[in-house]
């Protein structure tokens, strides 16, 4: 598995097959990642998600990416920290389920934002540990996915991830 980490915007990963949305249960536009993805994908995305909603914490569903430069969007509902329990298991489910959906669609590359670490309040260091432990443990089960990219919005989040990837021996 090839692990990558970049500082940037999840809607601008034009060499990636599927980007992951930090969705809400109704799969509608919103703030943060979901707002950026819906704005960039266009109105057709909300139409495409209508019949798939609502989703549960930990679940992942896939749609086309419409005006985004990717083939697909995989929508994950992360846990609201302190409300959806056990939060670490639900967050791990998001990463596992998103990877499985990508693999079932025979995709070679997927990009994740830091799920649940914005509006849903998950402490960043804890969420990073869950994300990296989960993808590391799960990667050997995947047949098609070759590249997993983590896209971090701020410089400090990016630096934290770089360090954590090397501590987990992923880069």
For ligand AR6, the binding residues (CB under 6 A) are 9-11, 22, 24, 30-34, 36, 78, 113-120, 151, 153, 157
Shortest separation between residue 16's beta carbon and ligand AR6, angstroms? 13
Shortest separation between residue 123's beta carbon and ligand AR6, angstroms? 11
- Partners of 72 in the β-ladder: 18, 64
Q: 63 and 101 in contact (C-beta within 8 Å)?
A: no
Q: Which is nearer to ligand AR6, 45 or 114 (CB)?
A: 114
Structure tokens at 65: 């990416």
User: If you write DSSP's letter for every residue of 44-94 in order, what string do you get?
Assistant: HHHHHHHTT----TT-EEEEE-TTSSSSEEEEE-PPPTTTSSSHHHHHHHH
Q: Which is nearer to ligand AR6, 108 or 119 (CB)?
A: 119
Interacting residues of 117 by C-beta distance below 8 A, sequence separation 6+: 123, 124, 127, 157
Q: Which is nearer to ligand AR6, 24 or 109 (CB)?
A: 24
Shortest separation between residue 113's beta carbon and ligand AR6, angstroms? 4
Residue 67's φ and ψ, nearest 5 degrees, are: -80, 0
Nearest CA to 71 out of 62, 60, 79, 80 is that of 62
Q: Which is nearer to ligand AR6, 117 or 134 (CB)?
A: 117
Q: Which is nearer to ligand AR6, 58 or 113 (CB)?
A: 113
Shortest separation between residue 31's beta carbon and ligand AR6, angstroms? 4
Shortest separation between residue 139's beta carbon and ligand AR6, angstroms? 22
């Amino acid at each position: 598995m090839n692990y990558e980490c970049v500082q940037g915007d999840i809607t601008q990963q034009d060499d990636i097959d599927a980007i992951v949305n930090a969705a809400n249960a109704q799969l509608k536009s919103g703030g943060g990642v979901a707002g950026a993805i819906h704005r960039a994908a266009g109105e057709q995305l909300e139409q495409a998600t209508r019949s798939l909603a609502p989703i549960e914490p930990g679940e992942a569903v896939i749609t086309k990416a419409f005006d985004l430069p990717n083939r697909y969007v995989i929508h994950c509902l992360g846990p609201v920290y302190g409300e959806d329990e056990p939060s670490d298991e639900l967050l791990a489910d998001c990463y596992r389920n998103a990877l499985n959906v990508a693999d079932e669609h025979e995709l070679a590359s997927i990009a994740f934002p830091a799920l649940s670490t914005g509006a849903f309040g998950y402490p960043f260091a804890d969420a990073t540990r869950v994300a990296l432990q989960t993808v590391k443990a799960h990667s050997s089960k995947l047949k098609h996915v070759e590249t997993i990219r983590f896209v971090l919005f701020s410089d400090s989040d990016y630096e934290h991830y770089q360090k954590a990837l090397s501590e987990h021996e992923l880069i």
